[in-house]
Amino acid sequence: MTKTRRRRGHSTVPPWLWIPAGLGITFLLVPIIGMITRIEPGHLGEIILAPESQLAMGLSLLTSVIAALVSVSIGFPLGYLHATRTFRGQRVVRTLILLPLVLPPVVSGLALLYTWGRTAFLGSLLTDMGLGLAYTTAAVVFAQIFVSLPFMVMSVETAVAARGQDFELAAAELGATPNRVFFHITLPLLRQGIMTGAILCFARALGEFGATLTFAGSLAGVTRTMPLQIYLVRESDPQSAIALSLLLIVVALVIIVLAYRSPHAPKLRAPRSAAAPEAVEASTFRPGPSSTFSGALAPESHTERPRPETPEVRLSARLPERGINVDLTMPTGSTTAIIGRNGAGKSSLFQLMIGAISAESGSLHVGDETVFDLDANRWPPVHARGIVHLAQNPHLFPHLNVIDNVAFGLRAHGQRTADARRIAGRMLSSLGVGHCADRRPDAVSGGQAARIALARALVTDPKLLLLDEPLSALDVDVRVETRLVLGQVLSGRSAVIITHDVDDVTALASTLVLIDSGSVAFSAPVGEVGASLSATSRQSSNIPGRDFLHSFCEGDTEGILCSRSR
């Protein structure tokens, strides 16, 4: 009989880490086991079912749930703003957020008592209005919120820092307003952090003792939570204290297990040594009836954009802190390729155009339309610019399937869901990835993801499409096929592509622009680069980036880029 052995993948974790990890588990587990061994089973049910025990447990659960919900409702905005915005006094706010974590619970209770107590200024005002807090159930909730709120804020901050805001920016470029981005992108993507924070808040509130006793007292049925009940009986009846402690532990474990088994809870995932089967699928593009193009692929959802009287894209921008000083004119209805060394300022130009960063001065005009003009105090938000940016990472929204990813921009522009999905499906089929419509983004290959992101951008009919090395992360064969698709869909569109690949320029672009040290060093139509460079060299031998441009031309083995000079 052949024995099947479990294959073990290579691990980079040092084996000796199991020793301190085991000590940590032992340190946490042994006291619980020690307490359980002291329980007398015969009296366990009687103690747990006692009216005062049920009353204390019910009060603990009720106040803990309320405290957790309030902590989520006010802690999430605080944590999110703290992680995404810079404001005056931010360090002071950070200190105040962390303070309850290091304060002894009794000190927290005293702080609440001398603020909201009956003799305190604020507390006396509430008492005069018949809303006194001290020694009420509301005081219990106040104390629990005070000590648990920091856990929510920190969970959200950590989640935002780990994920960044690239998905929000991608949604805004598709035309989504801040409210739509927040409710349809931010909240779904942060739900694991929110769930973690809520669990921590509930657990901290459930075990709160010192602040509750100091501020709310210990009134049966009003403020006596389970920790207070355990404290009250521990001297006179140790068996009751142990039994109630076990009940509290069991309830906390049940809540945590149920929360972590929910669909939106953080998942514990074993590291995978290989990609998922769906993602390994070959991404070869096989043209068929659904992938036939006739000229530029125009989205069904929009009327054809009128041809501008001024057939130019004109960009001027000054941003000294990044070394940007650009005056650039590009033709509309075609693709312009921007090349240059790493750090030359190419990506900064894209960020300026979409509105992710602001220039000190400048303007952007696409034909007759003004995108921004700082001299005229016109700086529209990202979602109102009509410019879509495709980066190396497609930034497909992970919580939406493929067809809803593509339909997102149409929904943001007011399309009904059914119409948006129908148009998105046709666009996906046109790009050869219609069969991926019902998949999740993590179940498609790199080449498929690039086309899906392109479909998502095209259905919104952007006035200007920006592509930042969209093919650089793809395999050679997939890159060739995707480049052919790009060449067809970009025909007749105003687009700008950043690339380090000469094949991208020769296959996609009609104009070449060289950026050097944040400025335009050279610009010429593709095919006339060599002749223009020679003419410019006769006028001035000191051309910034000249060596880079010569090296770039040498990569053109077919002689397309610099054909006039050969």
Ordered DSSP codes for 76-128:
HHHHHHHHH---TTHHHHHHHHHHHHHS-HHHHHHHHHHHHSTTSHHHHHHHH
Give the single-character DSSP code of 459. Answer: T
Residue 50, Cα to own-chain centre: how many angstroms?
A: 49
Backbone φ/ψ region at 559: left (φ over 0), alpha (ψ -120 to 50), beta: left
Burial of 31 (C-beta count, 10 Å sphere; 0-12/13-18/19+): exposed
Structure tokens at 29: 């587990």
Give the single-character DSSP code of 441. Answer: G
Report the C-alpha gap between 131 and 140 in whole angstroms. Answer: 14
**Is residue 5 in a domain?**
no
Looking at the structure, do residues 562 and 428 belong to the same domain, yes or no? no
Report the C-alpha gap between 223 and 424 in whole angstroms. Answer: 57
Burial of 145 (C-beta count, 10 Å sphere; 0-12/13-18/19+): buried
The contacts of residue 486 (CB under 8 Å, 6+ apart) are 454, 467, 470, 471, 507, 508
- Report the SS3 class of residue 160: helix
**Is residue 511 in a domain?**
yes
Report residues of the chain scoring pLDDT below 50: 1-5, 270-299, 301-304, 564-566
The contacts of residue 548 (CB under 8 Å, 6+ apart) are 339, 340, 341, 514, 516
Task: Kindly report each contact of residues 243-250 with a partner whose C-beta sits within 8 Å and lies 24 or more positions away, as own/partner.
Answer: 243/39, 243/43, 243/44, 243/47, 243/48, 244/47, 244/48, 244/53, 244/56, 245/35, 246/35, 246/36, 246/39, 246/44, 247/48, 247/53, 247/57, 248/57, 248/60, 248/206, 248/207, 249/32
Looking at the structure, do residues 440 and 566 belong to the same domain, yes or no? no
**Is residue 289 in a domain?**
no
CATH code assigned at 231: 1.10.3720.10
**Do you know the residue count of the chain?**
566
Looking at the structure, do residues 531 and 436 belong to the same domain, yes or no? no
Domain edge (last residue) among 232, 260, 288: 260
Looking at the structure, do residues 231 and 348 belong to the same domain, yes or no? no
The contacts of residue 369 (CB under 8 Å, 6+ apart) are 308, 386, 463
- C-alpha distances (whole Å) from 430 to each of 453, 454, 492 are 13, 11, 17
Strand-strand pairing, 369-373 and 519-525: unpaired
Report the C-alpha gap between 226 and 546 in whole angstroms. Answer: 77
The contacts of residue 120 (CB under 8 Å, 6+ apart) are 113, 114
The confidence score (pLDDT) of residue 546 equals 76
Report the C-alpha gap between 277 and 3 in whole angstroms. Answer: 25
Q: Are 366 and 332 in contact (CB under 8 A)?
A: yes
Report the C-alpha gap between 469 and 339 in whole angstroms. Answer: 10
Asked whether the CA dihedral 556, 558, 564, 566 is positive or negative, the reply is positive
Looking at the structure, do residues 441 and 512 belong to the same domain, yes or no? no
Give the single-character DSSP code of 474. Answer: S
- Report the SS3 class of residue 361: strand
Structure tokens at 543: 């051309």
Q: Are 31 and 109 in contact (CB under 8 A)?
A: no
Q: Are 316 and 353 in contact (CB under 8 A)?
A: no
Q: Return the number of other C-beta atoms located less than 10 Å from residue 491's C-beta.
A: 16
Report the C-alpha gap between 177 and 165 in whole angstroms. Answer: 15
Q: Are 163 and 170 in contact (CB under 8 A)?
A: no
Q: Which domain holds residue 438?
A: 398-461
**Strand order of the sheet with strand 495-498?**
387-390, 464-468, 495-498, 335-339, 511-516, 519-525
Q: What is the pTM of this model?
A: 0.82
Looking at the structure, do residues 35 and 146 belong to the same domain, yes or no? yes
The contacts of residue 112 (CB under 8 Å, 6+ apart) are 139, 142, 143, 146, 211, 214, 215
**Is residue 519 in a domain?**
yes
Domain edge (last residue) among 417, 445, 461: 461
Looking at the structure, do residues 423 and 511 belong to the same domain, yes or no? no
**Is residue 80 in a domain?**
yes
**Is residue 299 in a domain?**
no
Domain edge (last residue) among 435, 461, 487: 461
Looking at the structure, do residues 510 and 381 belong to the same domain, yes or no? yes
User: Per DSSP, what are the bridge partners of residue 522?
Assistant: 514
Looking at the structure, do residues 61 and 157 belong to the same domain, yes or no? yes
User: Per DSSP, what are the bridge partners of residue 312?
Assistant: 331
- Total count of domains within the chain: 3
Tell me which residue has tokens 């509130």: 205
Looking at the structure, do residues 74 and 198 belong to the same domain, yes or no? yes
Looking at the structure, do residues 373 and 413 belong to the same domain, yes or no? no
Looking at the structure, do residues 140 and 166 belong to the same domain, yes or no? yes
**Is residue 267 in a domain?**
no
How confident is the model over 516-528, as pLDDT tens digits? 989 998 888 988 8
Report the C-alpha gap between 103 and 95 in whole angstroms. Answer: 12
Give the end-to-end CA distance of the chain in Å, rounded to a whole number: 72
How confident is the model over 259-296, as pLDDT tens digits? 666 655 555 554 444 434 334 343 444 444 334 443 34
The confidence score (pLDDT) of residue 278 equals 39
CATH code assigned at 508: 3.40.50.300
* Cα 515-520-524 angle, rounded to 5 deg: 95
**Is residue 311 in a domain?**
no
